[in-house]
């Protein structure tokens, strides 16, 4: 698989988890109970699968390769993507910090989670659209087949060494579980 195709494939999983988070937020806002273990698992998915693994591949490997190929970081699309990754982390942190309050039945904490889930969803959905339609096609056009092959090997390394062997599949199983609990 081309490196950008692998990343686009991961986007589909991230978008699905965003729908789950938004649904959790809707239920919390309506005063309904949401299993805190589900909230924790969904936030963990975003922290590890989306941020550490997916954004890690972009920030440490794809974007530097694109810069080397002459696409500027400053005042260009790469800079915008990096800025959005940082903004997303703020929303995820707020969601994580709201969970202890939700466990105690705190309504304000439930509202905070819901609001940040919505903001994160809106930000990341637009971000993913820009990568799939603008940034990744740019990478496909500018990186040589040899550079793409090298990236692919480095991505496999990230999976094994940073995320952990078999973890990727575990996250896909979790996604299926939460999908059937919240989006069915």
Q: Which stretch binds Fe ion (CB under 5 A): 60-68, 71-79, 131-139, 156-164?
A: 131-139
* Closer by beta carbon to Fe ion, 29 or else 159: 159
22 is a contact residue toward Fe ion (CB under 5 A) = no
Taking CA atoms, 76 is separated from 4, 103, 147, in Å, by 19, 42, 21
Question: Of 107, 109, 91, 11, whose CA–CA distance to 43 is shortest?
Answer: 91
- Selection from 131, 125, 151 nearest residue 60 by Cα: 151
Residue 103: CB minimum distance to Fe ion, A: 31
Give me the least distance between CB of 59 and Fe ion, in Å please: 8
* Distance, CA of 89 to CA of 95 (rounded, Å): 10
Q: Which of 23, 85 has the CB closer to Fe ion?
A: 85
By CB under 5 A, the residues from 46 to 65 that bind Fe ion are 58
The distance of closest approach from Cβ of residue 85 to Fe ion in the complex, given in angstroms and rounded to an integer, is: 6
Least distance between Fe ion and beta carbon 133 (Å): 12
**DSSP per residue, 61-123:** IIHHHHHHTT--STTSHHHHHHHHHHHHHHHHHHHHHHHHHHHTT-HHHHHHHHHHHHHHHHH
Near Fe ion in 62-91, by CB under 5 A: 81
Q: How many residues bind Fe ion (CB under 5 A)?
A: 3
Find the shortest distance in angstroms from Cβ 34 to Fe ion.
27
What letters, b where the CB count within 10 A reaches 16 and e where it falls short, cover 90-122? ebbebbbebbebbeeeeeebbbbbbbbbbbbbe
Q: Which of 43, 46, 88, 131 binds Fe ion (CB under 5 A)?
A: 131
**Of 81 and 175, CB closest to Fe ion:** 81
Residue (53 or 117) nearer to Fe ion, CB: 53
Contacts with Fe ion, residue ranges (CB under 5 A): 58, 81, 131
């Amino acid at each position: 698989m081309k490196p950008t195709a692998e990343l686009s494939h991961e986007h589909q999983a991230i978008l699905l988890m965003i729908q789950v988070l938004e649904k959790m937020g809707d239920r919390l806002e309506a005063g309904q109970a949401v299993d805190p273990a589900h909230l924790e698992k969904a936030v963990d998915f975003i922290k590890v699968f989306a941020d550490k693994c997916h954004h890690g591949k972009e920030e440490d490997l794809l974007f530097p390769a694109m810069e080397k190929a002459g696409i500027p970081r400053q005042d260009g699309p790469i800079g915008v993507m990096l800025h959005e990754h940082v903004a997303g982390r703020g929303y995820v942190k707020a969601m994580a910090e709201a969970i202890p309050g939700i466990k105690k039945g705190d309504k304000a904490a439930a509202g905070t989670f819901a609001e940040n889930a919505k903001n994160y969803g809106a930000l990341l959905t637009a971000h993913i659209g820009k990568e799939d339609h603008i940034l990744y096609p740019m990478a496909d056009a500018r990186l040589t087949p040899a550079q793409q092959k090298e990236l692919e090997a480095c991505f496999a390394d990230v999976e094994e060494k940073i995320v952990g062997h078999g973890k990727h599949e575990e996250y896909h199983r979790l996604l299926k579980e939460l999908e059937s609990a919240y989006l069915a």
